[in-house]
A and B are shown apart, each in its own frame.
Chain A
Amino acid sequence: MFFTQQQVDNLIPLIKVGIHSLVPTFYRIFSVAVLSMGSPAFGEGEAIEPASPFVLARDLVDQSDANPFRFAGEVVTPSARSWPRYEDALERHPTTESCLTEDARGGPSLDLLAYDWMGIDGRYAHDVCLFRVWTALESPELVVAWMEEFNMSVAGTNRQADMVERFGHLFTGSWTWEETTENSSLGGWGLQRLLDEAFFEPTINFTASFFPDGGLDYAAVSFIRE
């Protein structure tokens, strides 16, 4: 079995992720390689589309969906105080796949960049869906890369090592109002769906909070009122 140079180049960033996520990352590399081999182009000397670290095999995503939704340090169950805010969103988005655009659903692999910004309704639904997608990505470094794919400015990559060791990673991606409306195609109802309201013009934050051992604690949409 041989990898093309293009495939090797594509896999190198994956190998650079933190030691805590090496095992699932290698599983991802294996999955990506298998998916590539299964394509008609593999081994036929034709151009191969670079495998994306954001495209995961369905069984990996299904395993990830077994993780219960958490928010601000607790699992959100019917007995949780936050349950009334999340009950509808959890019903509408029971899986990672339900957070993707319709044309990205149904295949043997799922592209987690096909996040349904326009279809997910309200900040609490985004809390749920970002939790599902980021949990599937698993690696903090991949979550940062996912934010950067959407042109977010990301804070937390320059966090002190002792804070990471004690509290875990904390990343906040953000769009200013101008970036939200001009660069992300989220003007009008898109923004309404993101925040439930848009009478002011906020900077929007997307926070990923990880446990010290690397698992995602919660995802949260918030804003800075301008």
Chain B
Amino acid sequence: MSQLVLAGSQIYSTVGTGNWWHLQLVFGATGPDRDEIEVQFGGFSSSETSGFNFMPIRSITNIDSDHYGNVAIDAWDEVGIDIGTRDPGDVWELLVNIANQFVRDQPNFFYGLGQNSNSYASCRIALNSEMGNPTKSTAMLCP
């Protein structure tokens, strides 16, 4: 049975910038490969014009507290999203259509590290269950 979940992960930094905190919407049944919608912090590169990178829908596999695909991670936690009596496939199709619009348009939203967004709060909550309270320095990188 496919389920829609909100998942948070912490990915090791390989360049000494602190670990990266990722949030993603994931759809599918636990076990088989699942699909994800993800938005990432745009980074500091002058070549990027957006504060966010809206990633194309991807397939992911091998997810647990140690792996995110073939990436070694520090933590993974996910929580099911209550969509009432709606068909999960219908909800996912709508979300994919919305996500594709952002992927196509790449709107130039400003985003600062000090911004206390909902995604920032949700990321902390999701990861609290796995990691304990994030340190102030790493929590600042929660997107």
What CA separation (Å) do A198 and B61 show in the bound complex?
Answer: 25
Give chain A residues whose Cβ lies under 8 Å from the Cβ of B58: 155, 170, 172, 205, 207, 222
Counting contact residues on chain A (CB < 8 A from B), the size range is: 35 or more
Q: Judging by beta carbons under 8 Å apart, are A200 and B43 in contact?
A: yes
Q: Does B83 contact A (CB under 8 A)?
A: no
Q: Judging by beta carbons under 8 Å apart, are B33 and A201 in contact?
A: no
* Chain A: CB-nearest residue to B40: A225
Give chain B residues whose Cβ lies under 8 Å from the Cβ of A73: 97, 100, 104
Stretch of A11-19, A32-40, A78-86, A109-117 that contacts chain B: A78-86
Give chain A residues whose Cβ lies under 8 Å from the Cβ of B47: 196-197
Q: Count residues on chain B whose CB falls below 8 Å from chain A CBs.
A: 43
Give chain B residues whose Cβ lies under 8 Å from the Cβ of A176: 70-71
Which of B32-58 touch A at CB < 8 Å? 32-33, 35, 40-41, 43-45, 47-48, 53, 55-58
User: In whole Å, how far is A198's beta carbon from the nearest beta carbon of chain B?
Assistant: 9
- Counting residue pairs across A and B whose Cβ atoms lie within 8 Å, the total is 116
What CA separation (Å) do A194 and B57 show in the bound complex?
Answer: 19
Q: Judging by beta carbons under 8 Å apart, are A201 and B104 in contact?
A: no
Q: Judging by beta carbons under 8 Å apart, are A224 and B57 in contact?
A: no
What CA separation (Å) do A220 and B58 show in the bound complex?
Answer: 9
Give chain B residues whose Cβ lies under 8 Å from the Cβ of A218: 56
* Chain B: CB-nearest residue to A83: B104
Could you mark each residue 194-226 of chain A with 1 if its beta carbon is under 8 Å from any beta carbon of chain B, else 0? 001101110101010100000000101010111
Q: Does A63 contact B (CB under 8 A)?
A: no
Give chain A residues whose Cβ lies under 8 Å from the Cβ of B57: 170, 207, 209
**8 tightest A-B CB contacts, nearest first:** A156-B59, A220-B56, A155-B61, A201-B14, A155-B59, A172-B59, A72-B100, A72-B103
